Amino acid sequence: MSQAEIDRAVAERMGQGLSLYQIDEKLLRELAPDLILTQDLCQVCAPSGNEVSQVLTALPQKPEILWLTPQSLEGIFENIRDLGNATGKEQEASQLITNCETRLETLGEKVSHATSQPRVFCMEWLDPVYASGHWVPELVKLAGGVDNLGSERGESVRVEWEQIVEWQPEVLIIMPCGFNLQQTTKQIWDAFGGGHSQFFQLPAVRQGQVYAVDANSYFARPGPRVVDGAELLAHLIHPELFADSPLMKNHEGVFHKVDVDLLLRRLKEGHDYYMEAGALVFTASYLKRRGYCCDNGCRHCPY
């Protein structure tokens, strides 16, 4: 399904008061868990509270329920502490939080040397476009950027293209919720390949500062890896401070710089493709810069 189709399907089902998920009650009874982790932060991302409450009646022994509803880094760390308490791992949880906070302090010190705070837009869905919420705007701030379209500690919200054009982002981070890097790069091509007038008006696009990221690993999940996400954003927003970073030299599977010329179908024979027996053959360089496998059996596919 395209992003627009997914959005319509979710909206229709939720508009009817239906859930997006089904709980396997038989398997849950067999497992007989002592502890269930669940969340009611996002209606799209988890079973509803009613479903969880109803399924408990089917269990032979009532387990402990730990509800996780963080909206900020502080909330994420509190959830880690709660999980440590619930599993008898208080010391390990405390150490993990300390490590995360130390890394963020180190990042803050590095970013303090930046001479500017670029305008950033974190695009959490492409069609329709959603701005980021919850902890992501906080990560942008820690990384030395400003995203006025995001809603810190609030929900991700739909925004119009006119708002994005008015904001004039200098760095565009595309992070559709729940998508890994290859899935994200494919969505970018589906949404913007061949021309999208408002997208190509943005300073970030004109200056080649558009990045696809693995949102599923570093931004969408409220866990310790959001600290990796903050570090990743800092690298993308302030590359001048991290030129010698291992991440900038080896970012396979973490982020992908979008080649705007390829989106505009500006291809160069010999560099992006060659002709063979009247057929067009894409080069490995082109396929690598495109960023995803199309499953068409391309001869030089690097994926």
Q: Which domain holds residue 292?
A: 267-303
**202 in a domain, yes or no?**
yes
170 and 117 housed in the same domain:
yes
**96 in a domain, yes or no?**
no
Nearest to 233 by CA among 207, 254, 253: 254
Which of 12, 38, 69 terminates a domain? The answer is: 69
63 and 199 housed in the same domain:
no
113 and 258 housed in the same domain:
yes
Out of 34-38, 238-242, 293-297, the most confident range is 238-242
pLDDT score, position 144: 98
Nearest to 59 by CA among 20, 101, 28: 28
pLDDT digits (tens, 9 = 90+) for 151-202: 999 999 999 999 999 999 999 999 999 899 999 999 999 999 877 789 999 9
pLDDT digits (tens, 9 = 90+) for 278-290: 999 999 999 999 9
CA distance 227 to 218: 8
113 and 54 housed in the same domain:
no
- Alpha helix (H) residue ranges in the chain: 3-15, 25-31, 49-56, 73-87, 90-111, 136-142, 161-167, 181-192, 203-206, 215-218, 226-237, 246-249, 260-263, 284-290
**216 in a domain, yes or no?**
yes
pLDDT digits (tens, 9 = 90+) for 6-60: 889 888 887 887 777 778 888 888 888 999 888 777 666 656 556 666 777 778 8
Is the pLDDT at 297 greater than 70? The verdict is yes
Using pLDDT thresholds of 50, 70 and 90, give the confidence band for residue 239: very high
**65 in a domain, yes or no?**
yes
pLDDT score, position 80: 97
Number of domains the chain is built from: 3
**84 in a domain, yes or no?**
no
pLDDT score, position 49: 55
172 and 257 housed in the same domain:
yes
Domain of 164, CATH number, reads 3.40.50.1980
Nearest to 267 by CA among 286, 295, 288: 286
Which of 19, 39, 69 terminates a domain? The answer is: 69
- Alpha helix (H) residue ranges in 88-208: 90-111, 136-142, 161-167, 181-192, 203-206
pLDDT digits (tens, 9 = 90+) for 87-140: 999 999 999 999 999 999 999 999 999 999 999 999 999 999 999 999 999 999
CA distance 41 to 107: 28
